């Protein structure tokens, strides 16, 4: 006999758990099945994001930035410190403690909302039934009016460089290292590679980042990417572009990495090698034959704009479907699907998905790059405002970077905002709202921004779009 639910969600990551909670808020009977196991075998809710991604990485980025600033940047404030010591075990315990509190929190949210959490591996069978296999191998059958697939993603392993958990490692292991590697290699200069490289660089590793593409942050606005590369290289991240890694071998505890660049075959030796070349949808053993759900060539579940799979009552959200692999994108899809299931209105605006790299300075973007707008043929205006001219940034001693705003020449609609600078990840929220409301640069120009705040840089960038910035010299 199957246990019956209105909605069964497979996966309790940042896509699945909001879908389950919103489903329950909508008065439906919801179960959420999740298979996550920590390294010590314990179960935890929250998926990659809370256990091995967004949250632990930001915990370490914060701690390591404080360590770095105390050693290198406090003196300028007239604060001298001596005897500064790194206590990595405590830093790592703090990271683990934050993760535990957050993942336990989801259990509490499920309880409060009335969501039934089921530990085990879920597999979709035909007719919206789900078979759950617990860790001890026992099976349980669920039947639902709707099933939401939210199985997430896993790190991509390069051919010839299998993870060994010690020298050649994935991003999860890279967050849990118990010692600072002397020489660290990172393959892939995406968000994950740059954040992890920054963490260990700040703690003293010599870091070399190998990126196959010739262009840094190839999808980003070029002006932004150039500034980001300059800033990160200043921090002595040895970023090598056009460096395609083909092999690595571990010899006497060190990893010899072979790569090809414009000059030919190269080699670099490191103590630890992080492979951060992207993630793939995790859809292994998710679907029984004959469910009708289609996986594309790369393993993504095929869905439409509303995350419907085309099979009646089966939906898919988050990293296991097309679109950027970002926690907030999955969350919005989860909420949309739960509302659509309940007959309510639901929509995701795929044109206004913010993307943030939490390096120092942070890099945050939303909407179209200048190159994309140019390629579209639409006439446009650009305003750039440097943090150097912002009072709060001066007070913070964080003046590197700028805000760049692009708006349409005809109706002034804001098409894209690109920020590199202090707390760019927080500042971008205003730009996301502006895109969501289809605001013009003039709308932002006429919006009062508190002084002295970093947000004034966004205000001034909107004014600079029409060459009317007050606090910087407008270039014609
Ligand atoms: P996941 O979080 O992967 O969750 C899927 C869950 O489903 C997991 O618990 C998994 O065990 C479970 N599962 C899978 N298959 C089954 C099954 N058949 N049965 C039962 N359970 C199953 N994104 C951001 O937006 N901001 C960041 O700062 C950020 N930083 C990151 C840093 C790192 C190091 C990494 C690795 C990722 C980061 N990401 C970040 C990406 C983010 O973690 C993902 O986009 C997000 O976790 C995707 O959510 P999801 O719910 O789709 O999948
Ligand atoms: P992202 O997908 O944003 O996490 O970034 C992953 C990065 O890894 C991309 O910029 C890829 O170009 C890069 N990459 C993928 N394969 C290789 C490789 N074999 N050698 C070096 N870089 C790679």
Residue 46 confidence (pLDDT): 98
Which of 31, 49, 355, 426 has the most ligand 1 atoms within 8 A of CB, as the residue to mutate?
Answer: 49
CB 55 within 8 Å of CB 190: no
Residue 1 confidence (pLDDT): 82
The Cα 454–Cα 448 span in angstroms is 13
The Cα 72–Cα 246 span in angstroms is 37
Check pLDDT > 80 for residue 156: yes
CB 158 less than 6 A from any atom of ligand 2: yes
Residue 31 confidence (pLDDT): 98
Residue 475 confidence (pLDDT): 81
Q: pLDDT digits over 233-277, tens only?
A: 999 999 999 999 999 999 999 999 999 999 999 999 999 999 999
Q: pTM value? A: 0.98
Check pLDDT > 90 for residue 355: yes
| SS3 at position 166 | coil
Check pLDDT > 80 for residue 56: yes
User: What are 242-245's contacts with CB under 8 Å, separation 24+?
Assistant: 242/211, 242/212, 242/213, 242/214, 243/210, 243/211, 243/212, 244/210, 244/212, 245/158, 245/161, 245/187, 245/210, 245/212
CB 427 within 8 Å of CB 458: yes
The Cα 414–Cα 3 span in angstroms is 50
Q: pLDDT digits over 308-346, tens only?
A: 999 999 999 999 999 999 999 999 999 999 999 999 999
Average pLDDT over every residue of 367-391: 98
Residue 32 confidence (pLDDT): 99
Burial class (CB in 10 A: 0-12, 13-18, 19+), 43: middle
Check pLDDT > 90 for residue 476: no
Q: pLDDT digits over 185-197, tens only?
A: 999 999 999 999 9
Check pLDDT > 90 for residue 208: yes
**Ligand number nearest to the C-alpha of 122:** 1
Average pLDDT over every residue of 286-295: 97
Q: Going by CA atoms, what residue is nearest to atom 15 of ligand 2?
A: 277
As a whole-number percent, the residues of the chain with pLDDT over 70 amount to 100
Residue 360 confidence (pLDDT): 98
Q: How far is CA 284 from the centre of its chain?
A: 22
pLDDT band with cut points at 50, 70 and 90 for residue 95? very high
Q: Which residues line ligand 1 (CB under 6 A)?
A: 10-16, 33-36, 47-49, 52-54, 57, 121-122, 150-153, 171, 192, 282, 286, 318-319, 325-328, 330, 358
The sign of the CA dihedral 459, 464, 468, 472 is positive
Q: Distances in Å between the alpha carbon of 322 and those of 54, 191, 296, 307, 326?
A: 19, 18, 10, 10, 11
451 is an active site residue = yes
Q: pLDDT digits over 382-441, tens only?
A: 999 999 999 999 999 999 999 999 999 999 999 999 999 999 999 999 999 999 999 999
Which of 57, 190, 240, 319 has the most ligand 2 atoms within 8 A of CB, as the residue to mutate?
Answer: 190
Check pLDDT > 80 for residue 164: yes
Check pLDDT > 90 for residue 143: yes
Angle between helices 88-113 and 54-72 (to 10 degrees): 150
Question: What atom in ligand 2 is closest to the CA of residue 259?
Answer: 20
Residue 136 CB neighbour total at 10 angstroms: 6
Q: What DSSP element (H or E) covers 391?
A: helix 391-396
Going from the Cα of 190 to the center of ligand 2, the distance in angstroms, rounded, reads: 7
Those residues with Cβ within 8 angstroms of residue 215's Cβ, 6 or more apart along the chain or in another chain: 222, 225, 241
The Cα 102–Cα 428 span in angstroms is 24
Average pLDDT for the chain: 97
């Amino acid at each position: 006999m199957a246990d019956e639910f209105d909605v069964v969600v497979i996966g309790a990551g940042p896509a699945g758990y909001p879908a389950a909670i919103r489903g329950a808020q909508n008065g439906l009977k919801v179960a959420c099945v999740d298979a996550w196991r920590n390294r010590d075998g314990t179960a935890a809710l929250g998926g990659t994001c809370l256990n091995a991604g967004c949250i632990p990485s930001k915990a370490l980025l914060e701690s390591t930035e404080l360590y770095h600033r105390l050693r290198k940047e406090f003196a300028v404030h007239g604060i001298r410190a001596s005897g500064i010591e790194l206590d990595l075990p405590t830093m790592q315990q703090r990271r683990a403690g934050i993760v535990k509190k957050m993942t336990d929190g989801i259990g509490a949210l499920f309880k409060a909302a009335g969501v039934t959490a089921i530990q085990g591996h879920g597999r979709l069978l035909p007719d919206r039934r789900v078979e759950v296999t617990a860790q001890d191998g026992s099976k349980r059958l669920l039947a639902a009016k709707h099933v939401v697939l939210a199985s997430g993603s896993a790190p991509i392993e390069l051919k010839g460089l299998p993870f060994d958990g010690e020298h050649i490692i994935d991003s999860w292991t890279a967050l849990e290292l118990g010692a600072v590697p002397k020489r660290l290699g990172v393959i892939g200069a995406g968000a994950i590679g740059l954040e992890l490289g920054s963490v260990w660089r700040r703690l003293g590793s010599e870091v070399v980042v190998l990126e196959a593409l010739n262009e840094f942050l190839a999808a980003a606005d070029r002006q932004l990417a150039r500034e980001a590369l300059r800033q990160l290289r200043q921090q002595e991240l040895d970023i090598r572009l056009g460096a395609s890694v083909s092999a690595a071998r571990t010899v006497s505890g060190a990893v010899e990495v072979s790569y090809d660049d414009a000059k030919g075959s190269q080699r670099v030796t490191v103590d630890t090698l992080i492979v951060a070349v992207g993630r793939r949808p995790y859809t292994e053993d998710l679907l029984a034959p004959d469910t009708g759900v289609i996986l594309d060539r790369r393993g993504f579940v095929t869905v439409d704009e509303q995350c419907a799979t085309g099979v009646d009552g089966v939906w898919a959200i988050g990293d296991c479907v097309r679109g950027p692999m970002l926690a907030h994108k999955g969350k919005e899809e989860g909420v949309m699907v739960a509302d659509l299931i309940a007959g309510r209105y639901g929509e995701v605006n795929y044109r206004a998905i913010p993307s943030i790299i939490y390096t120092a300075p942070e890099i945050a973007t939303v909407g179209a790059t200048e190159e994309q707008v140019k390629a579209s043929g639409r006439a446009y205006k650009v305003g750039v405002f440097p943090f150097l001219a912002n009072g709060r940034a001066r007070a913070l001693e964080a003046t590197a970077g700028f805000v760049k705003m692009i708006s349409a020449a005809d109706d002034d609609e804001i098409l894209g905002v690109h920020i590199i600078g202090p707390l760019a990840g927080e500042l971008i929220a205003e730009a996301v709202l502006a895109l969501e409301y289809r605001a013009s640069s003039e709308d932002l120009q006429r919006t009062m921004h508190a002084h002295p705040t970093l947000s004034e840089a966004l205000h001034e960038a909107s004014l600079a779009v029409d060459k009317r910035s007050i606090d910087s010299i407008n270039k014609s």
